[in-house]
A and B are shown apart, each in its own frame.
Chain A
Amino acid sequence: AQSVTQLGSHVSVSEGALVLLRCNYSSSVPPYLFWYVQYPNQGLQLLLKYTSAATLVKGINGFEAEFKKSETSFHLTKPSAHMSDAAEYFCAVTLRGNQGGKLIFGQGTELSVKP
């Protein structure tokens, strides 16, 4: 069965510092991988997705993630944090050919950005 683990429920960085949010997955077949962001009192918004094209994926708001099959990882990075990046971030996986299309989510990482 597939699963997603996000290391660190809370991450705090200073404005302008590197953001690194970790995600590892477990899947018996090649997965599709996603990062979603949730701002307070809002729904989940897609940041980026990996669907077997380039392993380095660029998303919105300057975020990117790299799919590393050997490490079963899909870590999210941003070179320079902005105050507006403060939110909860969720990594998710779905299996190719999954007839239902369900997403399996990690437990989320809350990102705080200090001035």
Chain B
Amino acid sequence: EPEVTQTPSHQVTQMGQEVILRCVPISNHLYFYWYRQILGQKVEFLVSFYNNEISEKSEIFDDQFSVERPDGSNFTLKIRSTKLEDSAMYFCASSVALNTEAFFGQGTRLTVV
């Protein structure tokens, strides 16, 4: 069964460092998303991406964040200069069309020290 895969499963980084979280969406999907879940809090939307551009982004998704689809299969989230409060589980998701089921990856746990 097709699935969304994320790497790494866990990343520890020092404050101020850049991190890139990687995702491989399901191959025929057209919409891509990043969400995050800070420990003990709800899952929060970060950004959606369609047709090689951002469709929508939340207030969380500031200039420190960027997304890219560098080739036909990967979808990445970059945090330029990590802060302690960026520590969270980051989920990638994809869907075949708008407002259809979003398939989620298993997440990357980012720990900023």
Contacts and interface: CB of A to CB of B under 8 A. Distances in A.
Contact of B33 (A96, A99, A102, A107): A102
A94 B31 CA distance: 14
18 contacts: A32-B99, A34-B101, A41-B106, A43-B107, A44-B93, A46-B102, A51-B99, A90-B43, A99-B56, A99-B98, A101-B56, A101-B98, A101-B99, A102-B33, A102-B45, A102-B58, A103-B35, A106-B42
Interface of B: 4, 31, 33, 35, 41-45, 48, 55-58, 91, 93, 95, 98-99, 101-107
Interface of A: 32, 34, 36, 41-46, 49, 51, 90, 92, 94, 96, 98-108
Contacts of A92: 43
A105 B48 contact: no
Contacts of B106: 41-43
B104 A100 contact: no
Nearest to B9: A41
> Which one of A99, A103, A105 has the greatest number of beta carbons of chain B within 10 Å?
A103
Given A90-B43, A100-B56, A43 B105 contact: yes
A36 B42 CA distance: 13
Nearest to B57: A100
B99 A100 contact: no
A45 B109 CA distance: 18
A34 B107 CA distance: 19
Nearest to A100: B56
Contacts of B105: 43
Contacts of A102: 33, 45, 48, 56, 58
Nearest to B107: A43
Given A43-B106, A44-B104, A98 B98 contact: yes
B43 A96 contact: no
Nearest to A95: B99
A42 B33 CA distance: 17
